[in-house]
A = this chain, B = another copy of it.
Amino acid sequence: MAEKRSRRAGGRAARVALRQAPLAEDARAVWPGMPGGRYKPLTDNECDQVFEAALELLEDVGMGQATPEFIELVTAAGGHMDDNERLHFPRALIHRGIELAAKKFRLHAFGSDNDGVELGGDKVHFSTAGAAVLMLDHETQRFRESTLADVYNSARLIDTLDNIHVAVRTVVARDMETSKDVDLNTAYAMMTGTSKPQGTSFFEPHHVHDVVAMYDMALGGEGEFRKRPFVKANNTFVVPPLRFAVDSALCMAEQVRAGMPINLLSAGQAGATSPAALAGSLAQALAECLAALTCVNLMSPGHPCVMGLWPFVSDLRTGAMSGGSGEEAVLNAAAAQMSNYLGLPSGVAAGMADSKLADNQAGHEKGLAVTLAAQAGANIVYESAGMLASLMACSLEAMVIDNDMLGAINRTVRGIEITPETLSTQTIKEVTKEPGHFLGHAQTLSMMQTEYIYPEVGDRLSPDDWVDAGAEVAVDRAHAYVTKTLATHRPSHVSAEIDARIRQAFDIQLPPV
């Protein structure tokens, strides 16, 4: 018995030693860009039908409010304008647009320490995003208008959260006066707040070039951004059904000229701006994104684009958007599948809880939606951290808890490796003889970090131990994490010298660190 006990204690000591060792990069249980696609909401035949419906819409109905530049490109390539000023895209032209389009591309990270992410195929990444107008204030835990400081603080927080791979601002800087102030300062706050690959957005076409000039300055010289773009534009180019949003379409052309990758974002809302039938809502979003994709590729073949189908749904009792519903979850997963099916980079929206707080409802709504989008193989799962109230609000505490969720979901995307070794028949044969359990077995020790991921703020104590430890829930620990991070994490990948130069050249309203 003494021997047995000491062997078990040895096992425990070994486990403790192992878990205190630093984790080698290549020995982690999850990583960005794991292949998804094991969940297929639609059959191939159904994908074909959705695609065919999109082609029919583009040929027969076309897009309203096209810009002169897009009209010229499309009509020169075989399209036509009708009497109602709608721009029609023949099937062959859409096929050509898809053929020309980039099938994958790298969204770089700032500087060169990090390779960024490769978007395309069935590689899955998690991103923040949102244009929430409210912040669930970190101190008061009440809603208030969002500010530029919130944009910066959320970027700094994202910078520390392993399972968020791409950063897009989650809130609107409502304390800015002009749309130019918003675009420039948002881009600045994101760039300085995190070195992760990121996205930003623009109100006016000329802001694109101002912001790229700022990126160039940060990267050390004119033309640098174009060489290693670390920011893509999130361009909501459509006023559904099937009409261009003129300013955004104008911005799109400038983004192409500036060498900035674009997320072509269609966000119809089923039952309001797209059909209540989920299938129709999907077909319409696909049509809209294919129209934009074709325009971009006629301008600049192979320009890096993400097919940003974000089909939203309504609660039909009230007409309000419901970001946390099952209909929303399955629809965005199908949207990811459709883009991947066509061989195009995919970005969808998932994690847009209806709940106002990071409560149980928000948790299950996010768990469902993000799981399905990721398993469907979305190259970017947008909105996957921090969002509440159907995108009306953002919470930093929610973002920290969601990071745990994303890690667990990513673990399921990785799946289960089946090899003669992992099937463990030899291990089981050994253990059934002696000692009858796997606790101290070499396989168990060796797999502690490679097979399992551990939550940052999620709790796994027993009820007794949890009560003894103060009965904290995840949101309490997340709050402490946010407090500590905001007090201590000051990214410095943009040097003080360059920062000073940027501040001299541009009206940066974020106070210097």
Residues on A lying within 8 angstroms of B by beta carbon are: 12, 15, 19, 38-42, 46, 49-50, 53, 56-57, 60-61, 64, 86, 134, 143, 241-242, 270-284, 313, 315-320, 322, 324-327, 329-331, 333-334, 354-368, 371-372, 375, 389-390, 392-393, 398, 401-402, 404-405, 407-412, 414-419, 421-425, 427-429, 431-432, 436-439, 441, 443-444, 447-448, 451-455, 457-463, 466-467, 471, 473-475
Contact = CB atoms under 8 A, between A and B. Distances in A.
A342 to B, nearest CB: 16
A437 B274 CA distance: 7
**Chain copies in complex:** 2
Contacts of A366: 363-364, 367
A354 B319 CA distance: 36
A418 B463 contact: no
Contact of A474 (B359, B407, B448): B359
Contacts of A313: 452
Given A452-B325, A462-B392, A280 B444 contact: no
Given A271-B439, A405-B368, A408-B365, A428 B242 contact: yes
A474 B409 CA distance: 24
Contact of A428 (B280, B334, B416, B459): B280
A282 B424 CA distance: 10
Contact of A46 (B371, B418, B458): B418
A355 B459 contact: yes
Which of A271, A315, A390, A431: most chain B CB closer than 10 A?
Answer: A271
A412 B452 contact: no
A184 to B, nearest CB: 28
Given A143-B467, A280-B424, A418-B50, A61 B358 contact: no
B460 A390 contact: yes
Given A272-B439, A367-B371, A417-B279, A452 B327 contact: yes
B363 A416 contact: no
Nearest to A362: B360
A325 B424 contact: no
Given A277-B422, A277-B451, A473 B359 contact: yes
A474 B357 CA distance: 10
B372 A363 contact: no
A368 B408 contact: yes
B356 A359 contact: no
A463 B429 CA distance: 58
29 contacts: A19-B317, A39-B39, A41-B412, A42-B418, A46-B416, A53-B424, A270-B438, A274-B438, A275-B428, A275-B441, A276-B443, A276-B444, A277-B423, A279-B417, A283-B423, A283-B428, A316-B452, A325-B408, A325-B411, A330-B411, A354-B458, A355-B473, A355-B474, A360-B473, A361-B459, A361-B474, A364-B401, A375-B375, A392-B463
